[in-house]
Chains A and B, each alone.
Chain A
């Protein structure tokens, strides 16, 4: 059984590496092949041809694409992400700092959304078919589809400007106490919470319903256990399993949301790094940011899948 588990893990890892390799080709193609003339794309249509050629030579655009790709990815793999066109310094430190900042913001969002949405989902399942269930599903469905920049506007206006409950700028001066830093992150985290809430609550509701409907839950009810005990001891564990994968899958979405939220709240994270690189046509920075984001997503998916297998004995047997 252990051998099968190892084989499964190995297969997953292989697929993840393959996905990443393909991803790097896509990113490379997007940043270095699609623009055609990279130097022209950076300097604009009026620039001096010599300057364009110089840039093309510097970034290697005058060599065959395959050769450039392998040079680029080879350096990338050993941590050399290239030099920023805008800042004329190595890209890697920027990515590191931005990632750390985004991680803080994402953590605040997850800490708020996970208990809230799972609680709402389980509650909706226990009231399935009643008005509370209907209300939760309509509200969460509607909130989930509103773009972050729209909900941000509403949140900033109401919580930040009219009620003055929360600070509207995400960044704080260096040396600000951690708690105060966190307080500045609540408002930017809320738009992400609003979008994620619907997805996670829906999964938690479906998982709970399925678990409630199972033979073991019925047995537990029939042997006279109070509803509370049935839910806590028999239903929750099984209901939350699929929710883990959903939460992990949302990491990908989350990064997309960070692009919008970080730019709106002027926060120096990976999302605003990607956006600023895109605006400034800083292709090495853009490539590094996007590939980092893709790697994080692939890694979280891998971890979530493995966690799911470890926690679910039926899958461990290789049943499905």
Chain B
């Protein structure tokens, strides 16, 4: 997932672009040793295993689950965990184990897509503001101030009420809100690159601004973009899950975890703990996993 966002982040550059960059600018020269350091970091590995597990469930879940996650069984509602239903059944008798496994898919499509949108747009904007500067730069600065003045959830609510909740709106809203935040990171990385010799050399060669931004500078600012993207992915999952819980994110009858908790938390006081606990544990493990990965990436690339 990180690899796809990265590939998209460089705007589909040919592989030759990397070789084209100044060899003195390091990211590619040290890439293997960085990967080795990541693999040696225990917290990164734990995080990676958790995330890969859920990615597996998201991709193959529907093929491996023991029951139909959407099939109700009105004679067997709210059954506690048993050999037949490992995690019990919900209010209309659906198998919770199957729903938790399949429920990885909606959140693992919406959150990464939102992050991808923000990474592509934010990288472009950051390159522009960092390299070109001027009024665009101050405009973005102000925009970030305004965006940060409101909690993410509240902005998202406002837009989702106006446009009506749907997965694609959620992707758009989170993508747009994260764009200036990623742009800010990219911008500051670009600012420290633009005074380097390879940029002046390209300018002297008469290269156009677009070439300098996307072919010369971009490969050299990939590490901070990678770090920011993984961190943002964690926030995106947090936000999508919360929005689904509030009823403004992923919509029924999806097996989404946030949605499952919102449908069932009223049952908790009745002693039906299994209707919410497993979805809650799944959400918690996914966000913690992604953030352990982000933490490891951050430690190695910064």
Q: State the A residues within 8 Å of B (CB).
A: 15, 18-20, 22-23, 26-27, 30-31, 34-35, 41, 138, 141-142, 145-151, 153-154, 156-157, 161, 168, 252-253, 255-257, 259-260, 263-264, 274-275, 278-279, 281, 286, 290, 293-294, 297-298, 301
Contact = CB atoms under 8 A, between A and B. Distances in A.
Contacts of A141: 291-292, 295
Interface residues of B, number: 46
Interface stretch (B63-71, B129-137, B157-165, B190-198): B157-165
Contact of A150 (B153, B241, B247, B271): B241
A29 to B, nearest CB: 9
B7 interface: no
Contact of B153 (A22, A145, A259): A259
Contacts of A26: 146
B80 to A, nearest CB: 15
**Centre residue among B153, B242, B246, B276 by max chain A CB count within 10 A:** B153
A151 B283 CA distance: 10
B154 A256 contact: yes
A30 B234 CA distance: 26
A38 to B, nearest CB: 9
A46 to B, nearest CB: 15
Nearest to B262: A149
Contacts of B290: 145
Interface string B250-294: 000000001001100100110101001100100110011011100
Nearest to A298: B149
B245 interface: yes
Contact of B246 (A168, A253, A259, A290): A259
A259 B154 contact: yes
A143 B292 CA distance: 11
B151 interface: yes
B248 A278 contact: yes
Nearest to A263: B246
16 contacts: A22-B146, A23-B149, A30-B158, A41-B162, A146-B287, A146-B288, A149-B242, A149-B262, A150-B241, A153-B277, A156-B268, A263-B246, A293-B150, A293-B151, A297-B149, A301-B149
B272 to A, nearest CB: 11
B157 A274 contact: yes
B262 to A, nearest CB: 8
Nearest to B145: A19
A286 B159 CA distance: 11
**5 residue pairs, one from A and one from B, having the closest CB atoms:** A256-B151, A34-B162, A30-B158, A256-B153, A153-B280
Contacts of B238: 145, 147
Given A274-B157, A290-B158, A145 B234 contact: yes
B188 interface: no
B50 to A, nearest CB: 11
B276 to A, nearest CB: 5
B92 interface: no
Interface in B174-218: none
A141 B291 CA distance: 8
A20 B142 CA distance: 11
B45 interface: no
A30 B248 contact: no
B140 to A, nearest CB: 13
B162 A290 contact: no
B74 interface: no
A35 B153 contact: no
B222 to A, nearest CB: 24
B17 interface: no
Contacts of A286: 158, 161
B246 A153 contact: no
A33 B169 CA distance: 16
B97 to A, nearest CB: 18
B162 A30 contact: yes
Nearest to A156: B268
B268 A157 contact: yes
A256 B43 contact: no
**Centre residue among A157, A259, A264, A278 by max chain B CB count within 10 A:** A278
Given A142-B291, A279-B247, A255 B269 contact: no
Given A26-B146, A146-B288, A161-B269, 11 more contacts: A18-B142, A19-B146, A23-B150, A41-B162, A141-B295, A142-B292, A150-B284, A153-B277, A153-B280, A154-B284, A252-B151
Contacts of A157: 268, 273, 276-277
A302 to B, nearest CB: 11
B49 interface: no
B159 A30 contact: yes
A236 to B, nearest CB: 27
A31 B150 CA distance: 15
B261 A252 contact: no
Contacts of B35: none
Contact of A34 (B159, B247, B258, B273): B159
Nearest to B157: A278
B100 to A, nearest CB: 13
Nearest to A296: B149
Given A23-B149, A147-B283, A290 B154 contact: yes
Interface string B208-238: 0000000000000000000000000010001
Contacts of B142: 18-19, 22
Nearest to A249: B148
